[in-house]
């Protein structure tokens, strides 16, 4: 037989937990699907790096909701910004289209009113501008900023509306 006779696929997360998931769920993970298809023999267990068991829990939650037609009820509100980013990375690694879109939108929503400094920190972007360079580019693109926006040092959540 070319494929496993059971309908469950075993996935091992980075922290060593083994999840037995339905084949249909594994199919939504393009990375996993590619591994299954490339294997000649039966795959016993597929390791998924960068994915932790708490990520798998949420992935399974999302899957159950979407199968029931309730994917809109899936919420990542309880995750803080860093946890959300890690989850997004995990889903990106697994190449799960729908959930990835949901999470990118969630991250985008969270970053909407954050300062430039916060965004830098969040994505680990090093500010390599000299003060003059920064002032110059800031002035050049002034039309995209509110007039007197001064670059804050710390993270600053703009409490708007």
Partner 1 sequence: MGSNGVAIDDTEAQTLAEETDVISTLHESILGLILSFVPIIDAVSTSVLSRRWIEVWTSLSTLKFDDSLLFYGKKMQKEQFVNFAEKVLLHFTNSSIEIFSLCLTSHQYDASQVSEWISFILERRVQKLHIQYSDKLFLSSKSLFRCNSLIELTLQMRCTLSLPVSVRLTNLQKLNISGIKFASDSSTYSRDITLSFPHLKVFEARGCEWSTMQNISLQVPSLERFSIAIWNHHSNESCKYGTIKVYSQRLTDFSYEGDLEQDIVLCDSSSIHNASVVIVIDEDKKDRIEILGFHAHNLLRQIDEVERLKLLFYKVLRHAKDFFINLPIFGSLAYLQLNEVTGEALLQLLHNSPILNTLVLLNGVANLQKDVLASAMVPHCFLSSFKVFQFKGFNANEHDLCLVKFMLANAATLEKMMIYPAFGLRYSDIDIGKVKEQILSLPKCSSFCVVEFSDIASS
Choosing from 10, 71, 89, 95, the residue that interacts with partner 1 (CB under 8 A) is 89
SS3 21: strand
**Which among 101, 100, 126, 121 is positioned nearest to 111, based on CA atoms?**
121
- Cβ nearer to partner 1, comparing 153 with 157: 153
**Which among 110, 132, 134 is positioned nearest to 123, based on CA atoms?**
110
Position 138 contacts partner 1 (CB under 8 A): yes
Neighbour tally for 33: CB within 10 Å? 16
Position 88 contacts partner 1 (CB under 8 A): yes
SS3 103: helix
Stretch that binds partner 1, among 23-31, 58-66, 69-77, 114-122 (CB under 8 A): 114-122
Answer whether 88's CB lies under 8 Å from 54's CB.
Answer: no
Position 38 contacts partner 1 (CB under 8 A): no
- Cβ nearer to partner 1, comparing 18 with 145: 145
Position 127 contacts partner 1 (CB under 8 A): yes
β-pairing, 8-12 vs 18-22, is antiparallel
The residues that touch partner 1, with contacts defined as CB under 8 A, are 85, 88-89, 92, 104-105, 107-108, 111-112, 116-117, 119-120, 122-129, 131-135, 137-138, 141, 143-146, 148, 150-153, 160-161
């Amino acid at each position: 037989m070319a494929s496993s006779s059971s309908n469950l696929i075993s996935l091992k997360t980075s922290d060593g937990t083994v999840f037995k998931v339905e084949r249909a769920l594994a199919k939504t993970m393009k990375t996993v699907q590619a591994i299954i298809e490339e294997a000649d023999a039966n795959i016993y267990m597929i390791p998924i790096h960068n994915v932790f068991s708490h990520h798998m829990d949420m992935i399974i939650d999302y899957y159950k909701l979407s199968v029931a037609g309730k994917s809109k009820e899936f919420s990542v509100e309880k995750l803080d910004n860093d946890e959300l980013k890690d989850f997004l990375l995990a889903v990106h690694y697994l190449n799960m289209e729908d959930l990835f879109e949901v999470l990118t939108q969630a991250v985008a929503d969270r970053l909407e009113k954050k300062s430039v400094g916060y965004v830098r920190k969040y994505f680990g972007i090093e500010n390599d501008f000299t003060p003059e360079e920064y002032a110059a580019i800031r002035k050049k693109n002034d039309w995209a900023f509110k007039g007197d926006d001064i670059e804050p040092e710390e993270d600053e959540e703009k409490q708007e509306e």
